[in-house]
Amino acid sequence: MKTIIEEKNGVVVVSVQGELDTDTSAQFQRDIEPLMERKDTKVEMDLSKLEYMSSKALRILVAFQQAVMRNGGSFSITKVTDTVQEVFDMTGLSASFFRD
Amino acid sequence: MKKRISDSPRLLIILLLALYGLLTTGVTLWVLHVSLEQSYNLNYEDLEDDLKTIAPYLELRMDQGDKDCFAYLELVSSVQHEEREYSYVVRDKEGEVIAPSFAAGRTLKMKKVKQLDKTGTCWLADVWGDRCFIIIHPFPTRPLELIGVYDYDYIFSDREETAKDFIMVLVLLFLLLLAVSWFWIIPVVERVLERKRLAENELNEARDLQQKAVTTVFPKNSFFDSHAVLRPAREVGGDIYRFGMQDGKFQYVIGDVSDKGTTAALLMFTISSFIHSRTRGEVPVCELMKELNYLICDNSEYEMLCTLFLGHIDPETLKMEYCNAGHTRTMVNGDFLDQDSQLLAGLDRDYPYHTQTVQLHHGDRLLLYTDGVTEARGADRSFFGEKRLQEWMNGLDPAISSEEACQSLLDTLAAFRGNALQNDDIAIIYIKIV
């Protein structure tokens, strides 16, 4: 699992690659922690190289989304693999993640 | 509780150091042995071939004074290849026996230790209690001639000094290690072990809680044959199920809390208690789900999410009402149930969950499970997946009992995993409609 955080034209693009399972989600949480404190941040998640996401890792993603929104920012997922899309669909999160 | 050696670090350290002591002593002795042989080869020199020189080594006491004579060893018997028996014979220069009585009753038993090309054969021998090297070589006309005797202790002595120094260093090192372990390493290890023990206790209590939260008595009546299993992974997981006949209906819930540990176990217990106390046949399952969702959101300080699947089956009409909150897809006879995508519980307090219905038939078999089943990983890290689950269900003999079906799935998963560890909790409910 690898998290790449880049800032382009005022948008923070968070790309997650590899697999987000029980073991790697703790690392993911540490990687995104600084972003959860920032005010008025526009976050775009690029999950086009995320091969797997356990339902446990969803909690972290949801908490991340909530923190960003609470701080006046916006959160959206721009790209996603079919496997992860299935997880979002099953858990009913697609509507909240792909609001735009 | 069973006492393990790892519970007593002091004993463990002493044992390890003792092992270290034995190993180093063994190595030292081996090195000494090798160096002794080398030393022998380096130090070898011919002794003067007269009785005066040889006598002290052999403790010969002769009356001949300065008379020129030789000491010979003559073969008495050859017992076996490695060990021979000799007796002393002292002859003069002409070969006449001077002291035959010397040999009487005084034989040597010698053990061959090394063959030296240059000088003949070297033997390590006991000469009346003292060990010495004796060099002999076959002589064409005489059986065996003694040509040199070396004091074993003499050769050994300087090596012995080195060995003593070395062993002293080992002893000091041993004491140093013991002191360091005793006063520094052991307290640290003990603290770590204590923490581990506490964590294990907590884990056991949480596991206990999890096992208490799930159904253990499975309804078997004229309508249903049901069974369930829960296989927690290395940590306490958040899988939960509860089912049974209530108010004339078969009611069930299966869920997965998105965390592990005691907090997750507590939440599961809360959900389980709620279901147990609140399930009433007449309440639509979506209303029940809304209440549960509210309950989980209310405990939002835990920041837990939970996938849940709730269902009622009427034994008379075989109509099943169900509500799925983000949970895995239920299977009926090898086909997945049509499940609308509804949000998992614990996220949106006012989420409008709705009920779906399906008409079941006699002989139908339902499989409910958590993602530990479909996301079980094989040795090549591939997932078990829904397709394999479907294949398993299709290949299953419909006549077997629900308990056998659960076991069959566990066996199939274990075979798929191979040597890989179980990475997540596994919960399975299998319901046969009679």
**Would you write out chain B's pLDDT as a tens digit for each of its 434 residues?**
445 555 676 777 778 888 888 888 788 777 776 666 565 555 444 444 444 554 444 444 334 444 444 444 444 443 344 444 444 444 555 555 544 433 334 444 444 444 433 444 444 444 444 444 554 444 444 444 444 444 555 555 666 677 778 778 888 888 888 888 888 888 888 888 888 888 888 777 777 777 777 777 787 788 889 999 988 876 656 788 888 887 788 888 899 887 766 777 778 888 888 877 765 657 888 999 999 898 888 876 667 888 999 998 999 999 999 999 999 999 999 899 998 889 989 888 899 999 999 999 999 999 999 988 998 888 888 889 899 999 999 999 999 999 999 999 999 999 998 888 887 889 999 999 98
Which among B295, B369, B361, B296 has a CA at the least distance from the CA of B328?
B369
Give the CATH architecture of domain A2-97.
2-Layer Sandwich (3.30)
Q: Are strands B120-127 and B69-78 parallel, antiparallel or unpaired?
A: unpaired
Verify that B233 and B378 share a domain, yes or no: yes
Residues found in chain A = 100
How much is the pLDDT for B235? Answer: 62
Q: How far is CA B9 from CA B182, B197, B200, B283, B310, in A?
A: 9, 14, 18, 59, 50
Helices (H), B44-126: 51-58
Q: How far is CA B252 from CA B274, B288, B339, in A?
A: 12, 12, 16
The verdict on residue B18 lying in a domain is no
DSSP 3-state of B147: strand
The verdict on residue B166 lying in a domain is no
How much is the pLDDT for A37? Answer: 87
Verify that B146 and B242 share a domain, yes or no: no
**Inter-chain touch A94–B341, beta carbons under 8 Å:** yes
- Name the domain boundary from B125, B150, B175: B150
First to last CA, chain A: 27
- ipTM for the predicted complex comes to 0.84
Which among B29, B37, B27, B57 has a CA at the least distance from the CA of B113?
B37
Neighbouring CB atoms inside 10 A of B42's CB total 9
Verify that B313 and B387 share a domain, yes or no: yes
Q: How far is CA B38 from CA B79, B112, B120, B131, B184, in A?
A: 29, 16, 17, 18, 43
Verify that B145 and B268 share a domain, yes or no: no
**Inter-chain touch A89–B259, beta carbons under 8 Å:** no
Whether B342 and chain A come into contact, CB under 8 Å, resolves to yes
Verify that B142 and B62 share a domain, yes or no: yes
How much is the pLDDT for B103? Answer: 37
Of the candidates A62, A63, A91, the beta carbon closest to that of B307 is on A91
- DSSP letter at B101? G
What is the C-alpha separation between B148 and B57, in angstroms, rounded?
10
Q: Residue B316 is part of which domain span?
A: 214-433
The verdict on residue B22 lying in a domain is no
How much is the pLDDT for B21? Answer: 80
The C-alpha R_g of chain B, in whole angstroms, comes to: 43
- Is the distance from CB of B125 to CB of B106 less than 8 angstroms? no
The verdict on residue B165 lying in a domain is no
Largest CA distance in chain B: 130
The verdict on residue B19 lying in a domain is no
Q: Which helix (H) or strand (E) holds B359?
A: strand B356-359
Q: Which helix (H) or strand (E) holds B277?
A: helix B262-278
- Name the domain boundary from B150, B173, B200: B150
The verdict on residue B178 lying in a domain is no
- How many angstroms separate the CA of residue B295 from the nearest CA in chain A? 17
The verdict on residue B410 lying in a domain is yes
What is the C-alpha separation between B292 and B308, in angstroms, rounded?
9
Who wins on pLDDT, B426 or A55? B426
**Inter-chain touch B344–A92, beta carbons under 8 Å:** yes
Q: Of all residues in chain B, what percent are helix, strand and coil, respectively (each to 5)?
A: 40, 30, 30
Phi then psi for B176, rounded to 5 degrees? Answer: -60, -45
Q: Which residue has the tokens 């880049």?
A: A6
CB pairs under 8 A between A and B: 53
How much is the pLDDT for B164? Answer: 74
Verify that B227 and B108 share a domain, yes or no: no
What is the C-alpha separation between B340 and B418, in angstroms, rounded?
34
Residue B311's CATH number: 3.60.40.10
Interface of B with A in 360-419 (CB under 8 A): 371, 375, 383
The verdict on residue B172 lying in a domain is no
- Name the domain boundary from B150, B174, B206: B150
**What's the number of domains chain B is made of?**
2
Phi-psi region of B312 (alpha: psi -120 to 50; beta: other; left: phi over 0): beta
Neighbouring CB atoms inside 10 A of B213's CB total 23
Neighbouring CB atoms inside 10 A of B321's CB total 19
How much is the pLDDT for B290? Answer: 93
Q: How far is CA B69 from CA A8, A40, B98, B316, B329, in A?
A: 108, 114, 8, 124, 108
List the structure tokens of B43: 């130090």
Contacting residues of B for A56, CB less than 8 Å apart: 258-260
**Inter-chain touch B259–A59, beta carbons under 8 Å:** yes
How much is the pLDDT for B82? Answer: 44
Whether B296 and chain A come into contact, CB under 8 Å, resolves to no
Q: How far is CA A36 from CA A33, A50, A63, A74, in A?
A: 5, 21, 9, 12
Who wins on pLDDT, A50 or B140? A50
Verify that B279 and B400 share a domain, yes or no: yes
- Is the distance from CB of B246 to CB of B186 less than 8 angstroms? no
How much is the pLDDT for B114? Answer: 42
